[in-house]
């Protein structure tokens, strides 16, 4: 058996709600690790996960996908005596030396105050033991290459390097929202960020098959599978907008195409969200990134909505968004060259600062209500990223 120590993140700040947050975090980890035989124990400020040694790859991959944990480490546990702690620290010291590191310090944390030696005493005793027993490793309190952590609780836990967790809040603590998911770089990142605030995510993708390819549809499903691993799964509505795009092209001035298409997408997404009890819409828009995302055009696109719309990337530049996409794992798929429906009939010179009254007049003239209803009725649903 091996044991991991998990440090809960922001949920420790949640006062009254803490129990509920912990309960959801526990449920999420259990769901994500359904296939693994394991034991999960919550203690004040710490979570312990024990499993068979051969499950470590799977467990560590999940720990890197779960929101609500600020960090984790594989730990050794030992008896609650100074001798046992020194022995465990020395073993950790050998591991550090094997990694080519040369200096260390001990950080001790004594939650069990009945243990007669205080944190400082533990640090001194174990530090000396490591320095005397592991040749080539010396104490450096100011700037150590490595830290050996010792936690004295109901038992003693010793560990070296801890891995940074995703932080944020456990998915499922902040309702569910509907992500408008394109095949680009931004929208998968937007979904990931909202999940990091505890929101469950479903998604809708608009395509224009047969004008858009099967590959571009598959690309979106592949992206949803990756984001869905962080969100404990998501349903993806695939809605065909070919007829709606055709009507926009026929009835409105070309330079208004993109804004009117966005308005129709939002309108349709809101209908799906209302039907499914989802509380908000989420997009990957970032201010002034493209013509449709100027403040005036964003005002036009949301003007028919009653539901709140969240844009977690609004103040980020493309470089930071792309860096996050790399970290999440969506970037290599997002840059595959399969165009989505937005490029169809897109004008060379779009309106840059649309007027809301003009936009809503054109939009009403299009009379899309019935077509949107039909498009939803004919849509298909994919289950992506579920743990089963």
Question: What number of CA atoms fall less than 13 Å from residue 24's CA on the CB side?
Answer: 21
Tell the smallest beta-carbon distance from residue 385 to ligand ATP (Å): 17
**Cα–Cα distance between 208 and 241 in angstroms, integer?**
5
285 touches which of ligand ATP, Mg ion, none (CB within 5 to 8 A by kind)?
ligand ATP
Tell the smallest beta-carbon distance from residue 205 to ligand ATP (Å): 5
Q: Which is nearer to Mg ion, 5 or 309 (CB)?
A: 309
Query: Pairing mode, if any, of strands 156-159 and 69-78?
Result: antiparallel
Q: Which is nearer to ligand ATP, 181 or 226 (CB)?
A: 181
Residue 141: DSSP 8-state: S
Tell the smallest beta-carbon distance from residue 186 to Mg ion (Å): 7
Is residue 301 near Mg ion by the rule CB under 5 A? no
**Cα–Cα distance between 267 and 366 in angstroms, integer?**
13
Tokens matching residue 130: 């490591």
Tell the smallest beta-carbon distance from residue 309 to Mg ion (Å): 16
**Cα–Cα distance between 125 and 152 in angstroms, integer?**
14
Q: Which is nearer to ligand ATP, 6 or 333 (CB)?
A: 333
246 touches which of Mg ion, ligand ATP, none (CB within 5 to 8 A by kind)?
none
278 touches which of Mg ion, ligand ATP, none (CB within 5 to 8 A by kind)?
none
Tell the smallest beta-carbon distance from residue 259 to ligand ATP (Å): 11
Q: Which is nearer to ligand ATP, 77 or 330 (CB)?
A: 330
Tell the smallest beta-carbon distance from residue 220 to Mg ion (Å): 11
Task: List the one residue out of 201, 231, 279 whose CA is nearest residue 67.
Answer: 231
290 touches which of ligand ATP, Mg ion, none (CB within 5 to 8 A by kind)?
ligand ATP
Burial zone of 322 (CB within 10 Å; 0-12 exposed, 13-18 middle, 19+ buried)? middle
Q: Which is nearer to Mg ion, 13 or 290 (CB)?
A: 290
Is residue 293 near Mg ion by the rule CB under 5 A? no
Residue 342: DSSP 8-state: G
Q: Per CB under 5 A, which of residues 164..193 are in contact with Mg ion?
A: 182, 184
User: DSSP H helical segments within the chain, as ranges?
Assistant: 18-32, 56-63, 82-98, 119-133, 186-195, 214-230, 242-251, 257-276, 295-301, 318-328, 331-334, 356-366, 369-377
Q: Which is nearer to Mg ion, 77 or 182 (CB)?
A: 182
Kindly list the residues in this chain that would bind ligand ATP in the complex (CB under 6 A).
180-182, 184-187, 204-206, 265, 283-285, 289-290, 292-293, 340-342
Tell the smallest beta-carbon distance from residue 333 to ligand ATP (Å): 11
Task: Name the phi and psi angles at 35, rounded to 5.
Answer: -80, -5
Q: Supply the Cα-derived Rg of the chain in whole angstroms.
A: 26
292 touches which of Mg ion, ligand ATP, none (CB within 5 to 8 A by kind)?
ligand ATP
**Cα–Cα distance between 270 and 27 in angstroms, integer?**
29
Q: Which is nearer to Mg ion, 35 or 290 (CB)?
A: 290
Hey, is 235 helix, strand or coil?
Answer: strand
Tell the smallest beta-carbon distance from residue 340 to Mg ion (Å): 6
- Return residues touching Mg ion (CB under 5 A): 182, 184
């Amino acid at each position: 058996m091996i044991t991991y120590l998990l440090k809960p993140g922001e949920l420790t700040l949640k006062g009254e709600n803490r129990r509920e947050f912990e309960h959801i975090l526990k449920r999420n980890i259990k769901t994500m690790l359904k296939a693994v035989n394991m034991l999960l124990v919550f203690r004040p400020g710490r979570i312990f996960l024990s499993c068979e040694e051969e499950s470590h790859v799977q467990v560590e991959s999940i720990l890197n996908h779960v929101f609500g944990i600020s960090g984790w480490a594989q730990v050794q546990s030992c008896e609650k005596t100074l001798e046992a702690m020194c022995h465990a620290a020395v073993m950790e010291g050998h591991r550090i030396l094997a990694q080519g590191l040369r200096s260390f310090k001990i950080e001790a944390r004594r939650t069990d105050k009945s243990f007669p030696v205080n944190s400082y005493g533990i640090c001194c005793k174990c530090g000396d033991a490591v320095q005397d027993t592991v040749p080539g490793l010396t104490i450096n309190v100011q700037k150590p290459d490595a830290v050996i952590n010792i936690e004295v609780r109901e038992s003693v836990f010793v560990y070296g390097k801890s891995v940074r967790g995703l932080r944020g809040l456990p998915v499922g603590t902040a309702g569910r929202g509907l992500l408008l998911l394109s095949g680009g770089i931004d929208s998968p990142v937007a979904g990931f960020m909202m999940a990091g605030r505890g929101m469950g995510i479903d998604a809708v993708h608009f395509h224009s098959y047969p004008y858009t390819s099967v590959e571009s549809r598959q690309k979106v499903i592949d992206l949803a599978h990756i984001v869905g691993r962080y969100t404990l799964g998501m349903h993806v509505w695939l809605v065909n907008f070919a007829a709606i795009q055709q009507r926009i092209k026929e009835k409105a001035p070309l330079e208004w195409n993109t804004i009117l298409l966005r308005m129709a997408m939002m309108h349709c997404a809101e209908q799906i969200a209302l039907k499914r009890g989802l509380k908000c819409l989420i997009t990957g828009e970032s201010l002034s990134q493209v013509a449709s995302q100027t403040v005036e055009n964003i005002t036009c696109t949301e003007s028919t909505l009653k539901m709140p719309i969240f844009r977690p990337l609004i103040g980020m530049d493309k470089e930071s968004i792309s860096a996050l996409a790399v970290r999440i794992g969506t970037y290599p798929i997002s840059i595959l060259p399969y165009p989505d429906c937005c490029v169809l009939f897109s004008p060379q010179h779009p309106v840059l600062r649309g007027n809301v009254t003009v936009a809503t007049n054109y939009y009403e003239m299009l009379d899309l209500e019935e077509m949107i209803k039909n498009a939803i009725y004919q849509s298909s649903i994919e289950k992506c990223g579920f743990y089963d």
